[in-house]
Amino acid sequence: MAPSKVSVPLEIEVKFLFPSDVYPLLENTIALKAAGTAPAQMHQVTTYYDTPELDLLQAGFSLRVRQTGGQYVQTLKTQQGKRQLNFHRKEWEWHVTSEQPDLDLLSGTPLRNWRKDFRGKLAPAWTTDIRRTVHTFEHNGALVECSLDDGILRSGEKATNLRELELELKRGPVTALYDLALEVVADNPLRLDVLSKAERGYFLLTGSAPPSKKTKFQNLSRKITLLGGFRSLARTGLNGIILNLPAVEQSEMEGIHQMRVAIRQVRTILRLFAHYEDDHALKHFQKELRRIGRLLGKARDWDVFCQDTLPNMLMEIADSSLKKILIDIAQEERRKSHELLHQELKSKPLTILIISLSAWIEGHPLLGKKMLQRTPLHTLVPDLLKPLDHKITKQGSHIRRLSAEELHTLRKTLKKLRYSAGYFSNFYARKNVKPYMDHCKKLQHYLGEINDTAIADALLKEIGKTHTKIYSIASSVGSLNKKRRKSALHALEHAWKKFRDTKPFWA
């Protein structure tokens, strides 16, 4: 069958979730933005197809047939492995005659060689049944389609509600899409939705939770400019935050860790280019990132303490009843830290921060003449990295005499240097990069060990203040913690010497 319509555009959208009682308010907000234009209302039933082994989804695609009235549209989409605030997805779309997918239409897509393998194997995996209201209007020089969805997602006997607002850019600057998103969020309690309906269907079908995602920075080209390099790094770091939102919402331990790392990376990137940025915007973003990072850090500290530190320490404690009391108290503190984090995820400030930072990155983030912004980034790397290297040299001098607080400060600066050096490492010969980065990593490891013991001591003291029954066992655990710190301190001096004797690869 020949396709009646084929399109291969990029879908660029920002999505939000909202509770049922917000629907009337949100509908009114969108109607006002649309300046009285009549909305289109429709009932859509969409069936997503896959093999029993979910081969399509595993390959990064979703295949669906959507029925609207008496019409059927078959769509193939790429799933966003590198999820962003604005979803950039390739899609192929055809009008078909029934709810059954036509595999011959895949001949012009990346799945052309899979058609034979799919025949007889594709079956409905999940469906969505949605009432959709669509407004299309101009906003700040862009054409935007706003879709309000209220419906249900089903897979077998399992079902969940779907209430989404999609703001899709049809044409014009993406910054206009962010501006509209900020205006809508200002008037309504919305939170970012970074999962596609296909992903939600998969998690409902399998009963699995969204996994954590490690942020992967692509190698920068030697041709990339200062502005281009900043945008590439900042986008990737911000995407690392967004990627892990679903996992953090599920209290997934590694997701919390990876989102915290991503926030540190974004803060490092902003500092790295601070000389070229607007100071007012920089201070605002740093303040909000720091605040959210602290909430993540608190939850992460209790995660590590409960899952790793405490079980290892308690192996040498004989009194099982007191051990249980300590474990229960620690788990309750962990639960409280996660609850505070969940409250933040549901709040406006985090959503506004991510949208605002995205808009700023895509707008005019750097100051100075355009000629400077077009300067090849690789020529500026020494100027960017030298201040951090000098700062570490100063902070690490007389390392044996440094207090726990001073070692923690050194560790934070070293992390910033390691992140920053890693962003530009492909500009230099690997034989020079590897020794430096290896020694940097080893030094960071021992500083991390020392910091973990300091955190464990602090958490034990926090517990001991309000739970006197476990004071004796907390004291015993603290003694074991001191042994771990002593061992790490013994190795630290040698690691520091190796690091300082290794010439920076950019020098």
> Which CATH number fits the domain that encloses residue 270?
1.40.20.10
| Least confident segment among 99-113, 441-455, 477-491 | 477-491
Residues of the chain with pLDDT > 90: what percent? 70
pLDDT of residue 476: 67
pLDDT of residue 198: 87
pTM: 0.89
pLDDT of residue 130: 96
| Least confident segment among 126-130, 191-195, 236-240, 353-357 | 191-195
pLDDT of residue 482: 82
Please identify, among 372, 400, 416, the residue that sits at the C-terminal boundary of a domain: 372
pLDDT of residue 35: 85
Residue-wise pLDDT for 104-153, tens only, equals 999 989 888 888 888 888 999 999 999 999 999 999 999 999 999 999 99
- Cα–Cα distances (Å) from 50 to 47, 64, 101, 117, in that order, read 10, 9, 11, 12
Residue 95 counted as domain residue: yes
pLDDT of residue 429: 95
SS3 call for 183: helix
pLDDT of residue 477: 67
Sequence-separated (6 or more) residues with CB below 8 Å from residue 442? 495, 498, 499
Residue 403 CB: number of other CB atoms within 10 A? 8
| Same domain? 266 vs 224 | yes
- Which one has a higher pLDDT value, 211 or 481? 211
| Same domain? 121 vs 244 | no
| Same domain? 49 vs 181 | yes
Residue 2 counted as domain residue: no
Residue 5 counted as domain residue: no
| Same domain? 303 vs 393 | no
Confidence check: pLDDT of 347 > 70: yes
Q: Quick check: 240 and 260 in contact, CB under 8 A? A: no
pLDDT-derived band of residue 86, with 50, 70 and 90 as boundaries? Answer: low
- From the list 37, 34, 42, the residue with the least C-alpha distance to 184 is 34
Structure tokens at 281: 């915007």
In which domain, by residue range, is 499 found?
Answer: 380-507
Residue-wise pLDDT for 260-271, tens only, equals 999 999 999 999
Residue 237 counted as domain residue: yes
pLDDT-derived band of residue 81, with 50, 70 and 90 as boundaries? Answer: very low
Confidence check: pLDDT of 235 > 70: yes
pLDDT of residue 473: 66
Residue-wise pLDDT for 3-22, tens only, equals 344 443 456 889 999 999 99
Q: What is the mean pLDDT of the chain?
A: 90
Please identify, among 372, 405, 431, the residue that sits at the C-terminal boundary of a domain: 372
